[in-house]
Amino acid sequence: MVDETGLGDHLADLAASGQRFAVPLAAEQIRTRGNQRRRRKQAVQTSVGVVVTAALAVGVLSLVRLAPEPATTAAKATAPNILRFMPPTPAPGEEYASELGYVYDAVLLEGDTVQVTVEQLRTGVVHKVTMPTETLVEVKHVAGGKPVDMRLGELVGRLRAGPHWVFAVDYDGEGRIRSLREAFWLTTE
């Protein structure tokens, strides 16, 4: 006799769901956590693989040049690298701008002026500057270890030789030198 009410199907579904809930809850949670751990491990392995691959690619590209560099021509090899000196300009609201550099080869010129060579520490650019002998110079070691203000004309003899002292050279807005300050003194006082 065929059951037309569907009671057999309903009972089969009920039996299947009963079996599912008959399994202890802890076992189902353990399986779920295990699956989560397995997925996280796979994700980590995949991301580590991508990172290692990218690092290797960057390393190889940095070691191997993508395109050969053109050979240096004789004109390039003999032409000196000349950097043009540009005096620093004061920042808005500032009276002076400074550059750090060696000051040397001082020569007393006629008309109460002194010509010195300044070699910028940052760029290595060397330029000649002519200043009045009355230009203020703040010194410490150049003057024997005692901090004093001197006039440039008094230091010509000490600054006549090659580069020994680093100075901060202060420029006004028009590119003129207003003062020199021994840099060592600036950093320790």
How would you write the pLDDT of the chain (189 residues) with one tens digit per residue?
Answer: 555 677 878 888 877 776 666 556 666 777 888 888 888 888 888 877 777 787 777 766 666 555 555 544 444 444 444 567 777 888 888 888 888 899 999 999 988 999 999 998 888 889 899 999 999 999 988 888 888 999 999 999 988 888 888 899 998 888 888 889 988 655 544
- Whether 68 is in a domain gets the answer no
Q: Does residue 109 share a domain with residue 54?
A: no
Q: Does residue 183 share a domain with residue 102?
A: yes
- Whether 78 is in a domain gets the answer no
Residue 65: alpha-carbon gap to chain centroid = 24
> DSSP code of 85?
P
- Whether 24 is in a domain gets the answer yes
Amino acid at 139: V
- pLDDT score at 105: 93
Domain that holds residue 22: 7-63
- Whether 161 is in a domain gets the answer yes
Q: Does residue 104 share a domain with residue 55?
A: no
- Helix/strand/coil for 26: helix
By the 10 Å C-beta count (0-12 exposed, 13-18 middle, 19+ buried), 125 is classed as: middle
Q: Could you tell me how many helices (H) and strands (E) the chain has, helices first? A: 4, 7
The answer, as to whether pTM is greater than 0.85, is: no
93 backbone φψ class: left, alpha, beta (φ>0; ψ -120 to 50): left
Q: Does residue 160 share a domain with residue 118?
A: yes
- Domain total in the chain: 2
Q: Does residue 101 share a domain with residue 40?
A: no
